[in-house]
Homo-oligomer: A and B are copies of this chain.
Amino acid sequence: MAIKYAKRMDNIKGSAIRELLKLTEQPEIISFAGGLPAPELFPIESLKEVCLKVLDTDGKAALQYSPTEGYVPLRKIISERLGRLGIDISFENILITSGSQQGLEFCARVFVDEGDTIICESPSYLGALNAFKAYLPKFVEVKMDEDGMKMDELEKALKENPNAKFIYTIPDFQNPTGITMSLDRRKKIVELAEQYNVPVVEDNPYGDLRFDGEKHPPISCFDTKGLVIYLGTFSKIFAPGLRLGWVAASPEITQKYVLVKQGADLQTNSMSQREIATYIETNDIDAHIEKIIKVYRKRRDLMLETMKQEFTNNVSYTYPNGGLFTWVTLPEGIDAADVLQKALEEKVAFVPGGSFYPNPGNENHFRLNYSNMPEDKIVEGITRLGKVLKVL
């Protein structure tokens, strides 16, 4: 007799990226697939000192159960750093999560009943879409241009979907497109959110990694009614392996997330929370971020220059001012999943675009990551990919 699972399990599929991670573990593959930071930049030596310090000075608390909300000094550090971005939020309204993926999953859990609408960018981060799908929502996609989500389309979506529970956006160097939302649209999205009383989930894992151009304030800065939920993470500016992210929101909304966190896993790792707090107290994390930016900027430049030389003219791509990704558009009718098969024969990997759209269609795109591969492999991999594209 078959075991009876919950209905939501029919809707949960493995993430294409996570499956690809397995494939790309083969060392001979040049992988532009994952969203992995450059491991050679991890501050391993500093972290050794930090671990000893945490265990010496606060070992018992670092290994014990601790409050669900998170380690207060870390929440205060995050509050201070958000303040510098223009977000005025008390540490009491910051919840530490197990990576920002957990914060994303909580968004659906807190807001979404079966059949409710989630409004998202088209395309959007597939890890978020997969997490949301377990709550059986309807997705309404809003098209983007070079300034991010189109506001007239967003307004139409809000008007047509009174059961919309939140708007999901990655305003800075979006995953997967690398596009940044303009200042005007940041103001407009808050206006619309307030007008329709629909929260905005501002997912900002890459905001600190700007290579060039002017920094925009987060959407949260324009929030006057407590409708914007800000998700941040240390994964891209420190290390993803420690699984440290946060949710910053109004007191009412934060309290809901805290209740959900209690059921989910009681609390985030007590020791890792102290490690990152101690690292920031005893090191210059902004200097570290500058170091990351310098390396990634070089890699982006190299990738885009090589693409310009090696890619055929019928292929277009975005120019990201920061973050980890560029987004490639193939001629209509070409399926990037087929291209991937050919690329893998040449030992190059990327993520086909289809899975970044919650609804079917849009197969003629793919995402390239430039943060994880060293410079020589970027040139070699893009050159090989150019050859694959030539014979389509």
A14 at the interface (CB under 8 A from B): yes
| B-binding residues in A (CB < 8 A) | 1, 3-9, 12-15, 18, 21-22, 34-37, 39-40, 42, 44, 47-48, 51-52, 55-56, 59-68, 97-99, 101-102, 105, 109-113, 116, 127, 130-131, 133-135, 165, 197, 199, 227, 235, 239-243, 252-253, 256, 258-260, 262-272
**Residue from the list B1, B64, B240 in contact with A65, Cβ < 8 A:** B240
Q: Within the complex, what minimum Cβ distance (angstroms) separates A176 from chain B? A: 16
Task: A13-B259, A101-B264 given; name 7 further pairs at CB < 8 Å.
Answer: A1-B197, A8-B109, A39-B60, A48-B56, A98-B243, A131-B263, A243-B270
The answer to whether B55 touches A47 (Cβ under 8 A) is yes
The answer to whether A60 touches B42 (Cβ under 8 A) is yes
The answer to whether A266 touches B39 (Cβ under 8 A) is no
- The number of times this chain is found in the oligomer is 2
Give every chain B residue within 8 A of A110 (Cβ-Cβ).
5-6, 9
Which DSSP category, helix, strand, loop or mixed, fits chain A's interface? helix
Give the residue name and chain of the B residue nearest to A25 (CB).
Answer: B67
The answer to whether B260 touches A12 (Cβ under 8 A) is yes
The answer to whether B42 touches A241 (Cβ under 8 A) is no
Which 3 residue pairs of A and B lie closest in terms of their CB atoms, listed nearest first? A241-B270, A63-B239, A39-B60
The answer to whether B262 touches A14 (Cβ under 8 A) is yes
The answer to whether A18 touches B241 (Cβ under 8 A) is no
The answer to whether A241 touches B265 (Cβ under 8 A) is no
Give every chain B residue within 8 A of A97 (Cβ-Cβ).
265
**Residue from the list B55, B63, B68, B265 in contact with A39, Cβ < 8 A:** B63
Cα–Cα distance between A5 and B256 once the two chains are bound (Å): 9
Q: Within the complex, what minimum Cβ distance (angstroms) separates A14 from chain B? A: 6
Give every chain B residue within 8 A of A48 (Cβ-Cβ).
51-52, 55-56
Cα–Cα distance between A44 and B63 once the two chains are bound (Å): 9
